[in-house]
Amino acid sequence: MERYIKKMKNLRNNLLGYTLVLPAFLIYGLIVLLAVFQNFYYSFFKFTNITSYEFAGLDNYINMFKDKVFYTAIGHNLLWAFMIIILLFLFLTIAVFLSKIKSRTILGAIYFLPATIPFVVSAIMWGWIYNPNFGILQSIADLLKLNFLRQQWLGDPKLAFYSLFLIGVWTYFGFTVIIFLSALQNIDRSIYDAARIDGATETKIFFHITLPAIRNTLSFLIVFSIIMSMKVFDIIYVMTQGGPGYSTEVMSTYIFKLAFRGQNIGYSSAISIILIILVLSLAVTVLRRNQKE
């Protein structure tokens, strides 16, 4: 009898669960998953243009490992992710400071403001800021006699990547500050008070109380940042198209150019598959590690 009830309950749960998930899964599957499978399929073909292709086995995957641009692109993605993760601690500092003042919500909102901007608009804004001939930074340099602001922000191959990264930070940091802030506010005040009575310094409190308490938030943001960094596309494509040369090329821009301009859809699909595997494994590794701790 008990088993029967359990079985019925299982059946009921399965039925209910699948009914609720089905509509979402159908659209997702039809639009996105199907496209991923097609990608996987295409990755074994050599395209001479968008309509004609022939089976090529693993050629695309083998070619990838000989492709210098591919390595450059992947390196840029990893560098982007690495820098964002380092900067997370700066954003955490902002959140800690915010949690100490009254007008924290409104400041959090101001920090989030750039994320509301369509990237086609931010590309225009930052295009003016960086313009080396009559741009905003140039004018500020003239006004305040700050010569270090006189740079070829997007034209210098050594600098362009970091200029774009700054735009990435601009749109992203507000989000992380808000998430950190909420995690901080969930920490029990009395622990702090107790620590202070025991004479702990602010730094000690931060490392021994605050940081452990927000560990989950931190690992969530690290995973989220990795995903964002591996996907980064829009702003780079609109501002530099991966240039000068390959100095701002990332995997997404390379994929886009190969698929649309190079008409090399098989190869671009192979890179997409590798990119998906890479992101998944990075995300899973970080999450696993966090769970162990």
Task: Out of 45, 80, 126, 165, point to the residue binding other proteins (CB under 8 A).
Answer: 126
- Residue 54 forms beta bridges with which residues? 46
Task: Answer whether 222's CB lies under 8 Å from 86's CB.
Answer: no
Q: How far is the CB of 226 from other proteins (least distance, A)?
A: 9
For other proteins, which is the closer residue by CB, 124 or 195?
Answer: 124
Determine if 89 is a binding residue for other proteins (CB under 8 A).
Answer: no
Binders in 201-230 for other proteins, by CB under 8 A: 216-217, 220, 227, 230
Position 255 contacts other proteins (CB under 8 A): yes
Choice between 48 and 201, CB closer to other proteins = 48
Of positions 8, 28, 71, 188, contacts other proteins by CB under 8 A: 28
CA distance 193 to 200: 10
Q: Does 146 participate in binding other proteins (rule CB under 8 A)?
A: no
- Piece of 56-64, 81-89, 175-183, 193-201 that binds other proteins (CB under 8 A): 175-183
199 binds other proteins (CB under 8 A): no
83 binds other proteins (CB under 8 A): no
| Distant-in-sequence contacts of 282-286, Cβ < 8 A, 24+ apart | 282/81, 282/226, 282/230, 283/223, 283/226, 283/227, 286/219, 286/222, 286/223, 286/226
Q: Choose between 24 and 197: whose C-beta lies nearer to other proteins.
A: 24
Establish if 62 lies at the interface with other proteins (CB under 8 A): no
Rule CB under 8 A: is residue 100 a binding residue for other proteins?
yes
